[in-house]
Amino acid sequence: MPEDTTLRDAADAADFRLGAAVAADPLRTDAGYWTSLRRGFNTVTAENAMKMGPMRPEPGVYDFTDADAVANFAEAHDMALRGHTLVWHNQLPDWFQEWDYTDDQLAAFLRDHVHTVAGRYRGTVEAWDVVNEAVADDGTMRDSVWYDALGERYLDDAFRWANDVAPDADLFYNDYGADAVNEKSDAIYELLEGMLDRGVPVDGVGLQMHALDGVPDPESVAENVRRFSDLGLDVHVTEMDVAYPEADAPENHRERQAEDYRDVLDVCLAEGVDTLVVWGVRDSDSWIPEWFPHVTEDPLLFDASNDPKPAYHALKERLEDTD
């Protein structure tokens, strides 16, 4: 490829979905943000705008302003759109109090939400993270308002409701801490195997890949991908960022970061994973510094000045090698 090609050009040429999580406000106001987004990525995920809390400002009211802004940007710039997320235990509306509802009313509330949101973006959202983080770190089902009211069947219901109104979208279960073979990924495997046995329309599993001490062993990641693929599921890397403990960060950690990103892309290309999404555009947009203050603060592909980092170039070179 010519030297002036972008990471997005390389992804397009390789027929690979390379995405970023985006927010509506900088899309409207920050030219550097959306220029970097267009330069680096061919897919976008709504970082927060499609979650229940931001969409439901008061009872009986849906506010699609920010979600539509993300969707309209994706359409205008020929980018695929990933919906995130229809069902989660976090970021519920401020006014929502579970004790105000019976179990049957909670089921009706959730069904209305899934039908309304997934239905609105039918034909626009290519893939939905239908249920997010339903499994706890120890492999048990996470205690949540939905699980307490409906039991494990809330996952089956959510996928069926999404399929009712968005039958052409790919429907994913999404979770963190299960990128390699471990106790949690074993539990998710069993969960999804059971759902498939019951005929639930789940199409794939999202491995978030929030790597806060470098990425897991690539061989274990590959083994994990293979076993989910053997179930007939698509596997996507959905929320990747790479940081290191500040007290023990590698020397020249941005070079190590580039290697880690490339290692995960290598696994994707070798194992038939066609989508990798990073959780933000620039380091200054990342959620990591606020939530994990003791790790390095530059987990993404662009720095705060919109300049591409070694990780950007490592991914670009690897995708160009697929030609």
Phi, psi at residue 178, to the nearest 5°? -125, 25
246 flagged as catalytic: no
237 CA to centre of own chain: 7
3-state helix, strand, coil in the chain (%, to 5): 45, 20, 35
Cβ atoms of 62 and 99 closer than 8 Å: no
d(CA 183, CA 187): 6
Read off the pLDDT of residues 130-177 as tens digits, 9 standing for 90 and up. 999 999 999 999 999 999 999 999 999 999 999 999 999 999 999 999
* DSSP string across 20-68: EEE-HHHHHH-HHHHHHHHHH-SEEEESSTTSHHHH-SBTTB---HHHH
Architecture of domain 7-320: Alpha-Beta Barrel (3.20)
User: Which parts of 7-99 are beta strand (E)?
Assistant: 17-22, 43-46, 80-87
Instruction: Give per-residue burial for 267-295: e unless 16+ CB within 10 Å, then b.
Output: bbbebebebbbbbbbbbbbbbbbeebeeb
d(CA 182, CA 129): 22
Closest listed residue to residue 163, CA positions, set 120, 110, 200, 125: 200
Cβ atoms of 44 and 19 closer than 8 Å: yes
pLDDT for 1 beyond 60: no
Which pLDDT belongs to residue 306? 97
Residue that the structure tokens 């000045």 belong to:
305
Which helix H or strand E contains 293, and what residues bound it? Answer: none
d(CA 12, CA 43): 10
62 CA to centre of own chain: 23
290 flagged as catalytic: no
Kindly list the distances between the CA atom of residue 104 and the CA atoms of 109, 110, 145, 153, 162, in Å, as whole numbers in the listed order.
Answer: 9, 10, 13, 13, 19
Residue that the structure tokens 């990780």 belong to:
311
Candidates 3, 47, 133, 290; catalytic one: 133
Candidates 193, 239, 251, 290; catalytic one: 239
pLDDT for 3 beyond 90: no
pLDDT for 2 beyond 80: no
Average pLDDT over residues 114-127: 98
Q: Give strand pairing partners of 128.
A: 83, 171
Angle, helices 183-197 vs 153-165, to 10°: value is 60
Half-sphere exposure of 93 (CA within 13 A, CB side): 18
pLDDT for 4 beyond 90: no
24 CA to centre of own chain: 16
d(CA 78, CA 43): 9
Average pLDDT over residues 58-78: 97
Average pLDDT over residues 252-274: 97
DSSP state of 193: H
Sequence ranges of the domains in the chain: 7-320
Which pLDDT belongs to residue 322? 86
Closest listed residue to residue 149, CA positions, set 102, 114, 111: 102
% of the chain at pLDDT higher than 90: 98
pTM for the whole thing?
0.97
- The end-to-end CA distance of the chain, in Å, is 9
Question: Cis before residue 85, ω within 30 degrees of 0?
Answer: yes
Cβ atoms of 49 and 73 closer than 8 Å: no
Mean pLDDT of the chain: 97
Read off the pLDDT of residues 7-22 as tens digits, 9 standing for 90 and up. 999 999 999 999 999 9
